[in-house]
């Protein structure tokens, strides 16, 4: 990424930047992904960031993790967090440059990593490279931004007099239909498609109508993140800016 995505690297190399400020959302993402990681799994965490999710995955029984990122700053933060984890190997990897990784992973996780590749052709190339590193039958857990989820949430916001939430300058969200058609054409099977629509609607759609003084770490968001809320409302992928796609090789 460094050679043609210099601005994105400069952004992630800033010490003050965090990968996800909404920790309730981050934990909800991790809970979704964890469901698809079996014991004794060899896992590649592609674009591991500060290692917050990596730390959780490392506690799963018998899991061995290769955690990689292209930012020195992210890796330093991850190292501090993961220094006591004997089953995690950290490595600097630029997926648009030369790198060496294994080709026998049971699971590969991409958690808001691919959206930082700002061209669809580049995203496609990296997806195929990642799929090639999976064992036959291995799974690609792709938790990334969705154009359709973003559009439906913004449509709700506008109806209530709120401004649309823009996609950040360094992100390119996925067109759900284009992604699924591409993966099907390449011979990969979609196992599951899951969203966090209930949390997004409550925290980005309803709460801003009730309270313009927003902060991430609040009781409303804590309650919105509870599994009970998803069970009650069951919005799934609707209104979900981020979605988890599970593909099998």
How much is the pTM? 0.94
Structure confidence by residue, pLDDT tens digits, 123-159 = 999 999 999 999 999 999 999 999 999 999 999 999 9
Confidence bin at 92 (pLDDT 50/70/90)? very high
Count the Cβ atoms, other than its own, within 10 Å of residue 158.
11
pLDDT greater than 90 at residue 1: no
Cβ atoms 170, 219 nearer than 8 A: no
Average per-residue pLDDT for the chain: 95
| Those residues with Cβ within 8 angstroms of residue 16's Cβ, 6 or more apart along the chain or in another chain | none
CATH architecture group of domain 6-147+170-196+241-248: 3-Layer(aba) Sandwich (3.40)
Structure confidence by residue, pLDDT tens digits, 24-65 = 999 999 999 999 999 999 999 999 999 999 999 999 999 999
pLDDT greater than 70 at residue 160: yes
């Amino acid at each position: 990424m460094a050679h043609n995505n210099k601005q994105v690297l400069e952004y992630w190399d800033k010490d003050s930047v965090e990968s996800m400020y909404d920790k309730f959302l981050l934990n909800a993402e991790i809970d979704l992904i964890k469901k698809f990681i079996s014991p004794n799994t060899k896992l590649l965490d592609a674009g591991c960031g500060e290692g917050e999710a990596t730390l959780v995955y490392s506690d799963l029984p018998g899991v061995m993790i290769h955690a990689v990122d292209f930012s020195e700053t992210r890796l330093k933060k991850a190292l501090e967090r993961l220094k006591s984890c004997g089953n995690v190997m950290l490595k600097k990897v630029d997926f648009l440059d030369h790198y060496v990784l294994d080709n026998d992973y049971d699971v590969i996780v991409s958690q808001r990593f691919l959206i930082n590749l700002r061209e669809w052709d580049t995203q496609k190339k990296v997806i195929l490279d990642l799929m090639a590193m999976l064992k036959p039958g291995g799974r690609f857990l792709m938790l990334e931004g969705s154009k359709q989820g973003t559009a439906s949430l913004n449509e709700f916001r506008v109806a209530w007099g709120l401004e649309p939430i823009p996609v950040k300058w360094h992100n390119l969200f996925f067109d759900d239909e284009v992604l699924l058609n591409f993966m099907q054409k390449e011979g990969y099977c979609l196992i599951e498609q899951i969203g966090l629509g209930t949390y997004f609607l409550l925290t980005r759609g309803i709460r801003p109508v009730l309270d313009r003084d927003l902060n991430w770490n609040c009781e409303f968001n804590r309650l919105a993140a509870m599994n009970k809320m998803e069970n009650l409302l069951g919005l799934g992928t609707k209104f979900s800016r981020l979605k988890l796609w599970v593909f099998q090789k």
